[in-house]
Amino acid sequence: MFFFVVGTVDGAGLFKYHYGLIKALLSIKPFLGAALLLWALYARKCAVFIAHLLRQPHYQFISIFRSLPLRRQYLLFFITDFILLLPQTFYILLVLTEGLYLHLFPATVLVLVFLLACCVLLPVRHVHVLNNPEKKQRFFSQRLTGALPRFAVYPQILIRAVLRTQKLVWLSIKLFTGALLCLMSMNNTLAHDDLQLMFLLFSFGVLANGVFVNHLRRFEEQYLSFYRSLPVPLIRRLAQYACFNILLLLPEAGLLCFLSPAHISVENALALGFYAFSAIQLLISISFVKQMAIKHLVVVLLLLFFGGYFILMASGVGFIGLLFLLLAIILFLTRYYRSETTIS
Amino acid sequence: MTSIVKQYNRQLILNIPSLHLQKGIYWLKGENGSGKTTFLKMAAALIPFKGTISINGISQKASPLLYRQQISWAEAEPLYPGFLTGNELIALYRQIRNVTGDETAALIRLLDAASYLHNRVDTYSAGMLKKLSLILAFTGAAGLILLDEPFITLDTAACATLEQLILERNRKNDTAFILSTHQDPGEHLRPFCKQLFVRNKTILS
């Protein structure tokens, strides 16, 4: 669909366009990395789709296939996965063909290995799910909870909630923010950093986490409400949310470290990182003032967005971060125990 | 409790000018929607309210940490994140309340929950969830345990076990209990229960 929907671009024909695209994909490592990631996500989606179906009551009859030899089960799943991955496989074959033609062997081999891994491993996973319907893959075991310091257990639970219910939203926000940051800082040819524009777009991505924070808070109110009655000091609760915040922002932090000092000064990278942390901390604290419906949340996000930008015109990014953090701490300490789940 | 007022969207739910309870076991009664759960949640420091609630002179608002060290709570229809196991939740409570593994192991054995606590919570039946919530509520050395409909979804044997557990805790550790239940608390427990009534938006003893 992607291949035919794209059509012509800037007067180039369909094949000429994709020829150029594939050439760039094989030549530019970050582009290849991004493409492999997207293909992996697609393959994962297909894998999860089948695994989920196998666990549904309507499809319990498929368990009769357990009576077949493993090789036959593998073959059946191989055909199924091949059909599901056909669009991706078709495009990857084009990539491989062009890669061989252009003698871009390292990238071509990498793509080939990826394709073979998908084709070979996905059926293995599905055979395992068919024969072990009760087992579910767990990324965090009991031992991990026991081994974590007391402080980190609750943030770990929040992160797990994110990974289970909001991972696509999280990933989309990270990709958006990361792409903006990368493109703006790498293409910045001015003598000094054009921080205002970078801040504007970066803060847009950061504040987008607000929708995600709102959802997480609702999850907390529904499934973790008992935590408020437990004897945990308020400062520790604040620090736990800060820890969760830091874990959420690890991709941005990593990217800022990667981009500085070559594309963005260390000072500005630290200021942007600090701003991101304090903005999300403020959003968490605001959620304790009142849980909001989406439309009111959007109003708050816009206020923070424009407020931050106006303050930037008078002072620096560091000051905005400091102000947001101070507000976040004050709001949290005064509102945490007074908050209640009533949607505005 | 002094000058307790609780409203939801400007509708008065409870108005308790003054209520002083001695240590003991209290059976909280009232019609559906009268405010029993709201009362328990206020005492459990889960929801805000106007007024003062103190336990042994420690105010919930003035000393939130010390107050929470004295109370424990089990709700009527417990909800936990489905991806957690019972053991993980118990480990969380143990860490916060500084309780050893032996103490919780005894509770788990008593309520016959050992066979499923290693599984994820989203695989539990209502009765299994209730047992888990009771294990969590009894974890630690709280001076006051608040139980909202503790007997619902429990089988006969578990109800009898719970009765004995409440009596034993009250006798050995001088733990106070407030139970909100429409069911009879059992022939062994009933004689020890002092009754509280939620009527006309207040609590009467």
> What are the extents of the domains in chain B?
2-204
The pLDDT value recorded for residue A343 is 44
Strands B193-199, B202-204: pairing kind: antiparallel
Asked whether residue A125 falls in the same domain as residue A53, the answer is yes
Among partner residues B46, B64, B95, which is closest to A225 by beta-carbon distance?
A: B46
* pLDDT at residue B27 in the model: 93
Query: So what's the pLDDT on residue A6?
Result: 52
A235 contacts chain B (CB < 8 A): no
CA distance, residue B187 to nearest chain A CA (Å): 31
Which strand (E) or helix (H) includes residue A162?
helix A153-165
A162 and A212 part of one domain: yes
Could you list the residue range(s) of the whole structural domain that residue A272 is in?
143-338
Residue A344 lies in a domain: no
* Total number of domains constituting chain A: 2
Does A343 fall in a domain? no
| Residue B71 near residue B142 (C-beta atoms within 8 A) | yes
Architecture of domain B2-204 in this structure: 3-Layer(aba) Sandwich (3.40)
Give me A232's structure tokens: 């945990």
Are A124 and A152 members of one domain?
no
The size of the A-B interface in CB pairs under 8 A is: 76
Predicted pLDDT of residue A145: 44
Last residue within a domain, chosen from A131, A153, A173: A131
Which DSSP letter does residue A12 get?
A: B
Decide if pLDDT at A324 tops 90.
yes
- Tokens (6 digits) for A33: 């990395």
Q: What is the DSSP letter of A109?
A: H
CA dist A294 → A16, A300, B94, B191 (Å): 44, 10, 37, 52
* B11, pLDDT greater than 90: no
Strand pairing report for B71-74 and B144-148: parallel
pLDDT at A152: 74
A183 shares a domain with A284: yes
Assess whether A159 and A75 both reside in one domain.
Answer: no
- Interface subset of A 74-133, CB within 8 angstroms of B: none
When pLDDT is cut at 50, 70 and 90, the band that residue B111 belongs to is very high
A185 within some domain: yes
| C-alpha distances in Å from residue A239, one per residue of A8, A155, A284, B98 | 53, 9, 12, 20
What is the overall mean pLDDT for chain B? 91
In the predicted model, what is the mean pLDDT of residues A283-309?
84
Do residue A123 and residue A147 come from a single domain?
Answer: no
* Same domain assignment for residues A92 and A118: yes
Q: Which residues of A touch B78 (CB under 8 A)?
A: 226
Instruction: Please give the C-alpha separations between residue B96 and each of A233, A340, B58, in angstroms, as whole numbers.
Output: 10, 23, 20
- Tens digit of pLDDT for each residue in B25-84? 999 999 888 899 999 999 999 999 999 999 999 999 999 999 999 999 999 999 999 889
- One domain, residues A269 and A320: yes
**A199 Cα to chain B: minimum distance (Å):** 37
Whether residue A342 and residue B9 make contact (CB cut-off 8 A), yes or no, is yes
- Compare CB distances from B48 to A153, A154, A338 and report the shortest one's residue: A338
A23 and A67 share a domain?
yes
| Inside any domain, residue A136 | no
In a domain, A318, yes or no: yes
Whether residue A147 sits in one domain with residue A86: no
Last residue of a domain, one of A72, A97, A131: A131
Pair A24, A58 in one domain: yes
Structure tokens at A305: 């967005």
The alpha carbon of residue B96 is apart from the nearest alpha carbon of chain A, in Å, by 7
A340/B65 CB distance under 8 A: no
Contact A339 B48 (CB under 8 A): yes
* Residue A43 is assigned to a structural domain of this protein: yes
In order, the DSSP letters of B13-24 are: EEEEEE----SS
Same domain for A250 and A157: yes
Which range, of A224-233, A257-266, B183-192, averages the lowest pLDDT? Answer: A257-266
